[in-house]
Amino acid sequence: MRAVVPGSFDPITNGHVDVIRRARAIFDEVVVAVGANSSKKYLFEPTERLELVRAATADIEGVTADPLTGLLTDFCRAHGADAIVKGARGAVDFDFEVGMARMNHSLTGIETVILPAAAQWSYVSSTLVREIATLGGDATPYVPAVVARRLATRRAHD
C-alpha cells in the first residue's frame, strides 16, 4: 500500500520527519507531496522546499518526494496512492485536517489517516521555525541538520 504525505514544508521540521517515518511504518511506500497553500506566504521557493524534503528523508527507505502543483486528489491518483497521511498537533490542526479529509474523500473517495504529532514535537511548526530563524534565533533543535544549515546560510546572506 502506498500513502501520500502532503504539506508545504516551509521548511520541513523534525515533527514532519517523524510523521513521514510513522507513515512509512504503516505503508509500504510513502510519497511526500510538496505543495503550497494558496493563502500562505513562503520563506523557501518550491524547488528548495522539495530539495530539503528529499535531503531530510534520504535515509528513510521507501520514501520519495514530488512537487504538488494541482489538486492533492489528482496527485494521489497520478501516484497510485491508497491513502493520505497527515499529522495533527492538536484540536485546531485536527479540525482543519478533518475538513480537508472530508473534501478529498468527497472528490475521489480517498481516505485520510490523521496521526497525532509526537508529544516531543507538538509545539514545533514551520511558522515558528521561520520566525525564530529570521529573527536571529537558533532553530537547530527543531529541524533536520540539512535545514538548520540552510537556514544559517540564508541568514548569512540576508
| Residues lying near ligand PNS in the complex (CB under 6 A) | 6-8, 35-37, 68, 71-72, 100, 103-104
Three cell numbers written together for 74: 489528482
Sequence-distant (≥ 6) Cβ neighbours of residue 97 within 8 angstroms: 86, 88, 112, 114
Of 89, 98, 90, nearest to 15 by C-alpha is 89
Q: Is 102 a catalytic residue?
A: no
Q: How far apart are CA 71 and CA 94, in angstroms?
A: 20
- The catalytic position among 8, 16, 22, 130 is 16
CB of 7 to ligand PNS, least distance (A): 4
Annotation says 126 is catalytic: yes
**Catalytic site residue from 8, 126, 130, 150:** 126
* CA separation for the pair 126, 13 (Å, rounded): 7
> Can you tell me the distance from the alpha carbon of 103 to that of 17, in angstroms, rounded to the nearest whole number?
25
Question: In angstroms, what is the minimal distance from the CB of 144 to ligand PNS?
Answer: 16
* 18: CB partners within 8 A, 6+ apart: 87, 117, 118, 120, 121
Verify whether residue 41 is a known catalytic residue: no
- 42 or 154: CB nearest ligand PNS: 42
Query: Closest by alpha carbon to 143, among 134, 133, 135?
Result: 133
What's the closest the beta carbon of residue 74 comes to ligand PNS, in angstroms?
Answer: 8
Residue 78 vs 103, nearer CB to ligand PNS: 103
Q: Which is nearer to ligand PNS, 103 or 145 (CB)?
A: 103
**Least Cβ distance, residue 85 to ligand PNS (angstroms):** 11
* Active site residue ranges: 16, 40, 89, 126
